[in-house]
A and B are shown apart, each in its own frame.
Chain A
Amino acid sequence: MSVFRNTYRPYTGDLTPTWSRFLILPRYAWQRVFSSKLLTAFFVACFLWPLGAAVIIYLHHNLRALDFLNLSALQLVLINTEFFLVVLTAQGTFAFLLTVFVGPGLISADLANNGLPLYLCRPFSRAEYVLGKMSVLAGLLSLVTWIPCLLLFLLQWSLARAEWFSEYWRIGPAILLGSWIWILVISLLSLALSAWVKWKLAAGALLMGVFFVTAGFGEAINSIFETDLGYVINIGELIKTVWAWLFGVPLQAKVPITSAWSALLGICAGCISLLARRVRAYEVAR
């Protein structure tokens, strides 16, 4: 690009709509994320599982291919609610790992280098900043969770008979809602940790710790007090309960569904409160 003016001049062009400016942050962040070969390779690996699931669905509806492979349809797993729940669970795990890699550096880098005043001195609010940073994760995690799962559902729907859809229509909305709940919870958690722990590696480790330590602590509570209340602080168990409820799968309910919803909402509210306290242009010493 040629630069032909070396003096200051005012800007007289058009401005972009204010509502769309939060989307600038993910665009820049994704460029950085995909500049890492390791992360790109992991991101590609996240699609292997849905690809395998797509092959299974295809084989279920293609007798010629089954003949060619010397297989019968009975040898393949059934395409039902459990099948999609297993695919979503696997994708949810990949999504979590992706969040561990990407999430912790999103806010901590700006805080460590006092970058927030540069964002917030513009017509760009704290809420838009958080929304923009969340969109970084929401975009990536959507590609890993609900988009491939929903595509699988649509593939099965298009190949199966109408009876299949009338029996399993609930899977589609369950995938969408279940994925978004998971995306919301892990995005907010990782952003909150990123805002409070300036060191990226420590924030990543802490995010892992939040899941595994709370699970262990919950189990300890259960065994000491001979109760199931410990599951309320086990995020993995909470999301499993909510997903099972959404998919309509009978599950030995370790946590009542209302408690699971309340606990997840509480976690989200806590994270938002942590973000609100930390995402400020300047800390005020009172």
Chain B
Amino acid sequence: MPESVIELDGLEVRFGERPILKGLRASLSGRAIGLLGPNGAGKTTLIHALLGFHPPFQGTARVFGHDIRREIKQIRGLVGYMPENDCYIAGMSAIRMVRLMAELSGLAPRDALERAHEALFNVGLGEARYRAVETYSLGMKQLAKLAQAIVHGPKLLFLDEPTNGLDPPARQRMLQLIRDIRDNGDLRLILSSHLLRDVEECCEEVLILKGGRIVHYSNLEEERRANKKFLELEIYGGNGSFVEAVEKMGCECALSGRRLKVVLPESLEIRDLYRHAAEQQVQIRRLSYRRDSLEDIFLRAMEESEAG
């Protein structure tokens, strides 16, 4: 059984009378965990609650077994946090800011300076490290935030919308950096984003939130392994009897407009589909093999939450 990184035990957070997180229960143990959800789903609030910024109204959560109600200082000693919004210490060069943050995390001044240089080189700000952070572009500020989050060598890294406001090349670079950090050492990371591609490219587990509730939890690795390959067809013509005929052949079908998803049993071949289509006077204009993407999982979770 892998070590649990985060355990949510009926966690409820309220802002005044307004419930923001509603009785979250989950146990997350992946190396890279994605927090997905539409804006206002509670992703950032969950990270803030785990950092002790918002006290739980009910329930609790544990980070590496440390309770957020009682052991928040220990938790903060283990984590690094890259906030979502623009934040920096004014009037300081990046190297001084990152060094200050390392010292506040408990590193001795000499170690802090050495690691600040390393962290800034690591994120690609080596040449600009003596410039004041307020003179940085948005992309550079994001990288400086990442540098201060990793400078003290945390065991768990919270990344809140790390690709916010980045252009496509900068976004790719940021995601590559996150993957590099994930693959070096035994660091775990929690990536919060509303961008499915970001989570899909970096994470093994995903927790989908909506309206302060968990609407889906999925282990992407297992999902990818278990996910059956299916055919996606675009069909024209016919009177619906084609779908019935395909189902009678033993296929699992799902029709959405003109798109038909079909899982073929091993005994059948694609030519059988074409034969039935010809018999029913149905045109198959497109046929491709597919697997469920994170987008499919996400949309399904959203639909299920609305239906439920």
A interface residues, Cβ below 8 angstroms from B: 1, 3, 5-16, 18, 21, 24, 28, 32, 109-110, 112-115, 117-125, 280-282, 284-286
Contact = CB atoms under 8 A, between A and B. Distances in A.
B48 A282 contact: yes
17 contacts: A1-B114, A1-B117, A3-B121, A11-B115, A12-B153, A13-B108, A16-B106, A112-B90, A113-B87, A113-B90, A117-B83, A118-B148, A122-B105, A123-B106, A282-B54, A284-B54, A286-B18
B106 A8 contact: no
Nearest 8 CB-CB pairs, A to B? A11-B153, A286-B16, A15-B106, A114-B87, A121-B81, A10-B153, A123-B77, A281-B53
Question: Per DSSP, are chain A's interface residues mostly helix, strand or loop, or mixed?
Answer: loop
Question: Per DSSP, are chain B's interface residues mostly helix, strand or loop, or mixed?
Answer: mixed
A149 to B, nearest CB: 32
A7 B73 CA distance: 28
B107 interface: yes
A149 B105 CA distance: 37
B85 A114 contact: yes
Given A11-B107, A125-B73, A113 B180 contact: no
A244 B244 CA distance: 100
Given A7-B122, A11-B152, A109 B48 contact: no
Contacts of A28: 92, 96, 100
Contacts of B122: 5-8
A1 B107 CA distance: 17
Interface string B94-105: 001000110111
Interface string B111-127: 10111011001100010
Contacts of B167: none
Given A122-B76, A122-B101, 16 more contacts: A3-B126, A8-B150, A8-B180, A10-B153, A16-B108, A110-B89, A115-B87, A118-B83, A119-B104, A123-B74, A123-B106, A124-B76, A124-B104, A282-B54, A284-B15, A286-B17
A6, A117, A122 pick with most chain B CB within 10 angstroms = A122
Contacts of A110: 89-90
A285 to B, nearest CB: 7
A286 B15 contact: yes
A113 B89 contact: yes
